[in-house]
Amino acid sequence: MRVADDMEALARIFPRPAGSEQERDALDAVRARLPDPDAARVEGFAGHTAPWAILGIHGVCLFVAGVLGFWFPRVGALGCLLATASLVGEGSGRLGLLRLWLPKLPSYNLVVPHEVERAVGTVVFTTPLDVPRVHLRRPRWMRRPLLGVFVSSSMLTVLLVLRSLSEPWGTPLLSLYLACLVVQGVTSAVVFATWRAPRAVSNDTGGMAALLELERRLAVDPIPGLCVWTVFTGCGRAHQDGIRAFLTLRGERQPAPLLVISLEEAGRAPLAAALTEGPLWRQHHLPTGPALVERLQWAGVRVPTVDRAEASDARAAMLLGFRALSLVGGDGVPDPDHAARAADVVETVARWFAADLQRVADTAKAPGLTVTPSPVDELSDA
């Protein structure tokens, strides 16, 4: 079975942290297993490769600013406010203030184009080449530990502002300040304690194997009327800089609408669709992808929907204004059959997306014909 061979061969390249030589080795290995390696392009970019180190710096800065606020409340309040604002930018994925001052490392995307003339739309399949240096291990009740750090730091900022407006420390205010400082330190420590050692990080190569299988199918049976791009992204687990670089370069030039479908640990069962993502709060995907998943469920293909605290290429695409769908694996053991099923689901979603767009385009061309579109047509045309 080709999927099993792909997973086994790619799993030998481990670990694969973002921006490393192992990540580039994985890129070369994937390219060698493509049906037409010469058609693939290697595109370089510069990205940040250590997301948890950046969040750790935020935690340290918040705690130091909080302690400093005991003697210098105005300075402490300003420090907490800036660190909290930067933390919100990192957690929401919209702006990394701290990253503006940190160096970047080179990384690479492997891009496989399937362009057609007079296309009615574009679909981009993505999966990360890298694996995280550390992996969160959380109890079920700790859905978003970063939210606890944000809440405690916000309360600490408010208390330091109140302290700067009143002299001296009152007993109630001092008690609240010490309690918030303890909570902030504990929540930051809990976030650090949820990290796993690199050897415990998942080495699931199901996403790469599924897209390789999909490439073989497209070589035999292309999707008519649809531009297809398969992107194996560098830094896919670290700030998703790979898909950002690809969409910034090509996104606006592709036939609209553009749908991004990302695969995360697709070799693990059960495969699910993440309708909301984000480590700080729930960020909803744009509607076309979720509507197509509903059609799969109506057709009897069981793809449950989940809320995911981690970020994916789909969330990065959504933040750039594109439609997106994230398909993620569960907690099972990586298995080639699960990766092959992920390829089936992705192919079905893409072909239905193309059929919907073609039907809308044909309706628009028919003179004097009025057709009531289905809900999925309306979402695809929105």
User: Are the C-beta atoms of residues 357 and 226 closer than 8 Å to each other?
Assistant: yes
CA angle 309, 314, 319 (to 5 degrees): 90
Cα 28 from chain centroid (whole Å): 23
- Percent above pLDDT 70 for the chain: 89
Average pLDDT in the 11-15 region? Answer: 90
User: Which residues in the chain are classed under CATH 3.40.630.10?
Assistant: 2-44+107-135+198-365
Is the pLDDT at 379 greater than 70, yes or no? Answer: no
Q: For residue 347, is it left (φ>0), alpha (ψ between -120 and 50) or beta?
A: alpha
Is the pLDDT at 223 greater than 90, yes or no? Answer: yes
User: Are the C-beta atoms of residues 229 and 122 closer than 8 Å to each other?
Assistant: yes
Tokens 């400093």 appear where? 68
76-90, 138-152, 160-174: range with lowest mean pLDDT: 138-152
* CATH number listed for the domain at residues 2-44+107-135+198-365: 3.40.630.10
Q: How far apart are CA 179 and CA 158, in angstroms?
A: 13
Q: Provide the β-strand partners of residue 276.
A: 284, 307
109-113, 123-127, 247-251, 356-360: range with lowest mean pLDDT: 356-360
Helix (H) / strand (E) element for 300: namely none
pLDDT in tens, 43-68: 999 998 877 778 778 888 888 888 89
140-144, 207-211, 282-286, 356-360: range with lowest mean pLDDT: 140-144
Burial 8-33 (b: 16+ CB within 10 A, else e): ebbbebeebbbbbebbbebbebbbeb
Of residues 284 and 220, the one with the higher pLDDT is: 220
Average pLDDT in the 144-169 region? Answer: 81
Of residues 189 and 136, the one with the higher pLDDT is: 189
Is the pLDDT at 371 greater than 70, yes or no? Answer: no
Average pLDDT in the 165-186 region? Answer: 79
| Token pair recorded at residue 129 | 């080449």
User: Are the C-beta atoms of residues 356 and 293 closer than 8 Å to each other?
Assistant: no
Q: How far apart are CA 138 and CA 352, in angstroms?
A: 37
**pLDDT (0 to 100) of residue 310:** 86
| Token pair recorded at residue 364 | 């628009």
What distance, in Å, lies between the first and last C-alpha atoms of the chain? 40
183 pLDDT band, cuts 50/70/90, is confident
Q: What is the bridge-based pairing of β-strands 41-47 and 105-114?
A: antiparallel
Of residues 258 and 138, the one with the higher pLDDT is: 258
| E strands present in 35-114 | 41-47, 105-114
Q: Which of 230, 226, 236 is nearest to 257 (CA)?
A: 226
**pLDDT (0 to 100) of residue 45:** 95
**pLDDT (0 to 100) of residue 196:** 47
172 pLDDT band, cuts 50/70/90, is confident
Is the pLDDT at 198 greater than 90, yes or no? Answer: no
Pinpoint the alpha helices (H) of 235-374. Answer: 241-250, 288-298, 313-319, 336-365
380 pLDDT band, cuts 50/70/90, is very low
Average pLDDT in the chain: 85
Q: How far apart are CA 27 and CA 55, in angstroms?
A: 28
SS3 string of 183-251?
HHHHHHHHHHHCECCHHHCCCCCHHHHHHHHHHHHHHHCCCCCEEEEEEEECCCCCCCHHHHHHHHHHH
Q: Provide DSSP, 136-198.
A: B---TT-S-HHHHHHHHHHHHHHHHHHHHHSSS--HHHHHHHHHHHHHHHHHHHHHHHTB--G
Average pLDDT in the 163-187 region? Answer: 79
**pLDDT (0 to 100) of residue 135:** 60
pLDDT in tens, 65-74: 888 988 898 8
| Token pair recorded at residue 187 | 């929540």
